[in-house]
Structure 1
Amino acid sequence: MRLVQALDRRRRVTVVPFQQPGAPERVGLTFAECESAAWAISPDGRRYRGAEAINATLAVILRTRLPIWIYRLPGVRQVQDAVYSWVSRNRSRLPGDQPYCEQHPERCG
C-alpha cells in the first residue's frame, strides 16, 4: 500500500485496506476474496484481481494502459500470476507494511 501511495503523487488511486470494517461489502466482495488477492476496481466497475490488479493500478498511476497490455502478452500473464501467487503466499515473511489491524486495532472489528 505504501508503495502505491508513494508512486501515486496525483492521488488517482484510493487504497482501502480490506480489513477495515465494511470495506469488502462496499465494493461487492467477500472478506475471503479480499484476503486471497489484491483487487482493483475501476470507476466503471470493472474488477481486476491479483497480478492484473497490480497492473491496472500501475496503469492508472502512470496514465498509460501499457502495464495492462504487457500483462496480456502471451506468457507474461502466466509468469506474473505465478510470481504474484508466490508473493501472496509468503507475504507475512516479506518486508513491508504491518498488517492493517496490527497498525490500527481500534479500526478493526
Structure 2
Amino acid sequence: MSHPDAATGRLVFDGQCGFCTRCVGWLRAIDRHGRIDVQPYQAPGVPRSIGATVEQCQDAVQWRGADGVRRSGAEAVNAVLSAVIGTGAPSTLYRATSGVQERAYRWVAAHRGRFPGMTPHCQTHPAECAGTGPE
C-alpha cells in the first residue's frame, strides 16, 4: 500500500476486480511521491474512512482528496491523476468533458470483466479484504 502519512488522498477501488487491480497498479507506478493511499473497499472500515457506503464503492471508484471532498467515477479518476502528477490539468479537462467522461467510465465499469486484468487484490491479499458488510 501507499504511505498514508505522506498521502494527499485516499483512492478506494474494487479489490475483487482484476481490471481495477491492474489500473491501481499503473497508478502506483506513476505515484513516485506517495501522494495516494490506495485501499480496496472490501477492507474493514475503508468506505467509512472516506464518507462513503459499501454500495457507493461497489458502484464506482471513490477518491477523497486533501480538500476533504469525495468524488466518484470519472471525476475521481481525474482528481487522483491531478494529485499524482501534481497539476490540475486532468481535473480541468474533466470539467470541460465530464458528460463524455462519465458515460465512458460507466461503459468501462459495466464491461470491466472483459478487459485485461490481473489476479484481483483481494485474492492476493485476503487478510486485507475481510469485511464487505454494511458500514
Give the drift of 1:104: 2.0
Q: Could you tell me whether the CA contact under 8 Å between 1:40 and 1:56 is conserved in 2?
A: yes
Moved over 4 A (4+): none
Structure 1: which 5+ residue stretches go unaligned? none
Q: Which residue of 2 aligns with 1:11?
A: 34
Give the drift of 1:101: 2.2
Q: What whole-Å deviation, never above 9, does each CA across 1:17-45 have from its counterpart, x for those lacking one?
A: 11112211222211110011011101231
Counterpart of 2:103, as a letter, is A
Q: For 1:77 and 1:63, how far apart are their aligned partners in 2? A: 20
Percent identity, aligned pairs only, is: 39
Q: For 1:10 and 1:26, how far apart are their aligned partners in 2? A: 22
Q: What whole-Å deviation, never above 9, does each CA across 1:75-101 have from its counterpart, x for those lacking one?
A: x11111111001111112211243332
Q: Which of residues 62, 65, 78 in structure 2 aligns to 1:39?
A: 62
Instruction: Indicate whether 1:71 and 2:128 are aligned.
Output: no
Q: Which residue of 2 aligns with 1:103?
A: 124
Q: For 2:117 and 2:73, how far apart are their aligned partners in 1? A: 18
**RMSD value over aligned CA atoms?**
1.3
Q: Which residue of 1 aligns with 2:10?
A: none
TM-score relative to the length of structure 1: 0.89
Q: Which has the higher contact order (CA 8 A, sep 6+)?
A: 2
Structure 2: which 5+ residue stretches go unaligned? 1-23, 131-135
Aligned ranges 1:19-38 → 2 under 5 Å: 19-38=42-61
Give the drift of 1:12: 0.8
Instruction: Indicate whether 1:86 and 2:98 are aligned.
Output: no
Q: For 2:100 and 2:125, how far apart are their aligned partners in 1? A: 34
TM-score relative to the length of structure 2: 0.73
Give the drift of 1:107: 2.8
Q: What whole-Å deviation, never above 9, does each CA across 1:56-86 have from its counterpart, x for those lacking one?
A: 011011111111111111xx11111111001
Name the SS of the counterpart of 2:36 in structure 1: coil
